[in-house]
């Protein structure tokens, strides 16, 4: 008799076939259940304790999942999903998880009945194409020049958030900030880099109403010397990424000093070098010099004597923002500065003290394409949550600038797609018909969850909604009004989601579900360092 061949290490744990699939489905459902209550305008917050003892309070799907510690590989991959959604469109991170959890959960009976996952996956893929087709039909164009209408869409997104009370203010801030950082490009999508150029500065204290988007920047810095000017109108600004001090050689240098007077010569040379650097700067008559590196005492002396204010040790990212706000170019060598490198677009440089700290304001900028958003508010936790809300809002505005189409919210789009799929499934005669129909029902999870979260009767409201959609395509925009959990016309209620967010949600959810269904083996090598 042959000895059994051991391929896998005996220490490895392995789940195979149906067991693996059912395990994955259970894990995905568990993740979806965690954040189910945070969907919609009646959503609950979660409070999460991190290992360091800090707390996070949020209802943002991605943030919740990022903070919790899970061990099942499928659950981990679900969490990755909401991160992708967050990076791609910034909103819909809760929906994507709930939807893919539901898509997997409706696949469970098929797997149990030994239907091959490939058939289910095939159906899901077909669904994806059809859903996008229906979404294209449901979508409406949005006139971006109509600010009120644009803000309405942002309002729907932020209406589900903690900051809903200050909705208008936060919507407006999100809109203004994205508008500033948008660079239009002919024939191509605009360049919108929120992460780099719209910086949120949170300063605890004050009232939320004091928050605003600056037409310019705010940097947590003070001038290097008390004698320098702290307020300059229309400053000429030079940005550097080199130090204004004597550069030490990189490799080891030996100096042999034979005479005592040579010491003085060496020091004199260092001083001359710094003086020459400063002269190169002073001849351009700047009012403000900012550098990413250090500025020696001597350089400060020369510059302040020339009436120049100096800020040192700026972050690279801050320097980039200043460049975009003021029109200055960051230079590396003072001797090569030209007039074109000097920034003149800033209207006012001012240093103000807020609380215990000094802040540099560079405001009233002309044609700025970078901005700071100043957030004030009661506590750090509140500010953090408002920052996350604002980021969601900015994500929505950005999506709209990329693709100004909107679809009705409150589950109306999902219902319309579900209904369309049901109709379509009647034309399908092979094995995939059943899983196809199952997806159509799975999409109802969004309106159902919205109803459940406001304590409504989901069966009654959903049946009514289904009947409404069945009456004809003119009722496609009927969904759930999320504050009362009743059926309503989303056009009247003014509840809109962006096309990009919704299509990304559906695409990502289906892709993730099919990916997890395709897995039929989970091998985990139990790595135990003690055995090595
Ligand atoms: N007033 C409302 N009535 C009904 N539904 C609403 C309303 N406002 C928003 N919705 C719906 O709520 C859903 C969005 O909920 P929510 O913002 O909590 O989650 P998300 O966008 O998926 O995730 P996150 O914002 O956490 O990234 C969308 O389907 C949207 O259409
Ligand atoms: Mg949202």
392 is catalytic: yes
User: CATH code at 188?
Assistant: 3.30.260.10
Q: Which of 56, 84, 95 to mutate to test the pocket of ligand 1 (most atoms within 8 A of CB)?
A: 95
The three-class DSSP label of residue 290 is: strand
User: At residue 531, does pLDDT exceed 60?
Assistant: no
User: At residue 528, does pLDDT exceed 70?
Assistant: no
Domain membership flag for residue 3 = no
In the chain, DSSP finds a helix count (H) and a strand count (E) of 18, 22
Domain membership flag for residue 1 = no
Residues 112, 249: one domain?
no
Is the separation of the CB atoms in 233 and 347 below 8 Å? yes
CA of 321 to the centre of ligand 1 (A): 32
Mean pLDDT of 48-75: 84
Indicate the helix (H) or strand (E) that contains 137.
helix 117-138
User: At residue 282, does pLDDT exceed 90?
Assistant: yes
Residues 54, 129: one domain?
yes
User: At residue 41, does pLDDT exceed 70?
Assistant: yes
CA of 29 to the centre of ligand 1 (A): 20
Residues 522, 493: one domain?
yes
Q: What CA–CA distances, in Å, run from 47 to 44, 95, 114, 483, 505?
A: 10, 19, 41, 22, 25
Mean pLDDT value across the chain:
88
CA of 413 to the centre of ligand 1 (A): 12
pLDDT at site 529: 58
Q: Which of 152, 409, 493 to mutate to test the pocket of ligand 1 (most atoms within 8 A of CB)?
A: 409
Q: Alpha helices, DSSP H only, in 36-72?
A: 61-67
Is the separation of the CB atoms in 156 and 495 below 8 Å? yes
Per-residue pLDDT band for 532 (boundaries 50, 70, 90) equals: very low
CA of 41 to the centre of ligand 1 (A): 6
pLDDT at site 19: 84
Residue 395 domain boundaries = 147-215+374-403
Question: How far from the centroid of its chain's Cα atoms is residue 488's Cα?
Answer: 31
Domain boundary pick from 386, 403, 420: 403
Residues 21, 133: one domain?
yes
Per-residue pLDDT band for 42 (boundaries 50, 70, 90) equals: confident
Residues 361, 222: one domain?
yes
Which range, of 74-78, 346-350, 508-512, averages the lowest pLDDT? 74-78
CA of 180 to the centre of ligand 2 (A): 23
Burial of 51 (0-12, 13-18, 19+ CB in 10 A): exposed
Residues 125, 151: one domain?
no
Phi, psi of 232 (to 5 degrees): -135, 130
pLDDT at site 3: 72
Per-residue pLDDT band for 231 (boundaries 50, 70, 90) equals: very high
Residues 224, 295: one domain?
yes
pLDDT at site 347: 93
Which range, of 31-45, 241-255, 467-481, averages the lowest pLDDT? 241-255
Domain membership flag for residue 67 = yes
| Structural domains of the chain, count | 3
User: At residue 320, does pLDDT exceed 90?
Assistant: yes
Residues 354-396: tens digit of each pLDDT: 888 899 999 999 989 999 999 998 888 888 888 988 998 999 9
pLDDT at site 53: 82
Residues 260, 285: one domain?
yes
Domain boundary pick from 403, 420, 455: 403
Per-residue pLDDT band for 429 (boundaries 50, 70, 90) equals: confident
Measure the CA–CA gap between 250 and 28, rounded to whole angstroms.
54
280 is catalytic: no
Domain membership flag for residue 266 = yes
317 is catalytic: no
Domain membership flag for residue 5 = no
User: CATH code at 351?
Assistant: 3.50.7.10
Domain membership flag for residue 112 = yes
* Of 468, 419, 427, residue with least CA distance to 444: 419
Residues 244, 341: one domain?
yes
Per-residue pLDDT band for 250 (boundaries 50, 70, 90) equals: confident
User: CATH code at 524?
Assistant: 1.10.560.10
Nearest CA to ligand 1 atom 14: 40
Residues 82-103: tens digit of each pLDDT: 888 888 888 889 999 999 999 9
Residues 250, 334: one domain?
yes
Residues 292, 193: one domain?
no
84 is catalytic: no
Residues 63, 202: one domain?
no
Catalytic choice (326, 392, 449, 501): 392
Domain membership flag for residue 330 = yes
Pocket of ligand 1 (CB under 6 A): 38-41, 43, 60-61, 91-95, 156, 159-160, 392, 409-410, 446, 450, 480-483, 495, 497
Domain membership flag for residue 519 = yes
């Amino acid at each position: 008799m042959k000895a059994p061949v051991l391929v896998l290490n005996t220490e490895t744990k392995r789940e195979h076939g149906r067991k693996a699939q059912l395990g994955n489905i259970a894990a995905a459902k568990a993740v979806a259940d965690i954040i189910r209550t945070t969907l919609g305008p009646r959503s609950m917050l979660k409070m999460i304790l991190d290992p360091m003892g800090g707390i996070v309070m949020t209802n943002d799907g991605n943030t919740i999942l990022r903070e919790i510690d899970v061990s099942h590989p499928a659950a981990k991959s679900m969490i990755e999903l909401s991160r992708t959604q967050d990076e791609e469109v910034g909103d819909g991170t809760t929906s994507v998880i709930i939807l893919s959890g539901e898509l997997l959960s409706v696949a469970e009976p098929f797997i149990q009945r030994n239907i091959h996952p490939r058939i289910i996956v095939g159906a899901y893929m077909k669904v994806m194409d059809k859903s996008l087709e229906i979404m294209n039909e449901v979508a409406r164009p949005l006139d971006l020049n109509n600010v009120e209408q644009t803000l309405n869409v942002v309002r729907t997104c932020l209406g589900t958030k903690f900051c809903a009370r200050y909705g208008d203010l936060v919507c407006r801030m999100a809109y203004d900030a994205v508008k500033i950082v948008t660079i239009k490009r002919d024939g191509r999508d605009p360049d919108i880099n929120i992460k780099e150029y719209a910086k949120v500065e949170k300063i605890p204290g004050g009232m939320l109403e004091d928050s605003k988007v600056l037409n310019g920047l705010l940097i947590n810095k003070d001038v290097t010397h008390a004698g320098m000017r702290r307020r300059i109108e229309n400053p000429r600004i030079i940005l550097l990424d080199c130090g204004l001090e004597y550069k030490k050689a990189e490799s080891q240098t030996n100096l042999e000093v034979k005479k005592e007077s040579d010491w003085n010569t060496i020091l004199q040379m260092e001083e001359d070098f710094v003086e020459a650097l400063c002269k190169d700067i002073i001849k351009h008559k700047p009012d403000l010099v900012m550098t990413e590196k250090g500025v020696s005492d001597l350089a400060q002396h020369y510059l302040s004597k020339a009436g120049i204010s100096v800020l040192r040790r700026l972050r690279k990212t801050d320097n980039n923002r200043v460049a975009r706000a003021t029109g200055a170019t960051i230079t590396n060598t003072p001797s090569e500065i030209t007039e074109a490198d000097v920034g003149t677009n800033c209207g006012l440089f001012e240093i103000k003290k807020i609380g215990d700290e000094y802040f540099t304001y560079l405001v009233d900028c002309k044609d700025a394409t970078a901005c700071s958003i100043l957030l004030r508010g009661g506590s750090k936790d509140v500010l953090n949550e408002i920052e996350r809300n604002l980021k969601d809002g900015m994500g929505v505005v950005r999506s709209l600038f990329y693709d100004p189409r909107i679809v009705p919210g409150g589950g109306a789009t999902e219902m319309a797609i579900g209904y369309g799929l049901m109709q379509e499934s009647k034309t399908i005669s092979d094995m995939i018909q059943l899983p196809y129909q199952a997806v159509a029902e799975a999409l109802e999870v969004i309106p159902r969850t919205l109803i459940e979260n406001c304590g409504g009767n989901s069966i009654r409201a959903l049946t009514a909604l289904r009947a409404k959609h069945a009456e004809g395509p003119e009722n496609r925009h009927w969904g759930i009004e999320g504050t009362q959990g009743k059926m309503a016309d989303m056009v009247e209620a003014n509840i809109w989601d962006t096309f990009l967010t919704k299509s990304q949600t559906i695409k990502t959810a289906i892709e993730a579900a099919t990916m997890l269904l395709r897995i039929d083996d989970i091998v985990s090598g139990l790595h135990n360092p003690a055995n090595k």
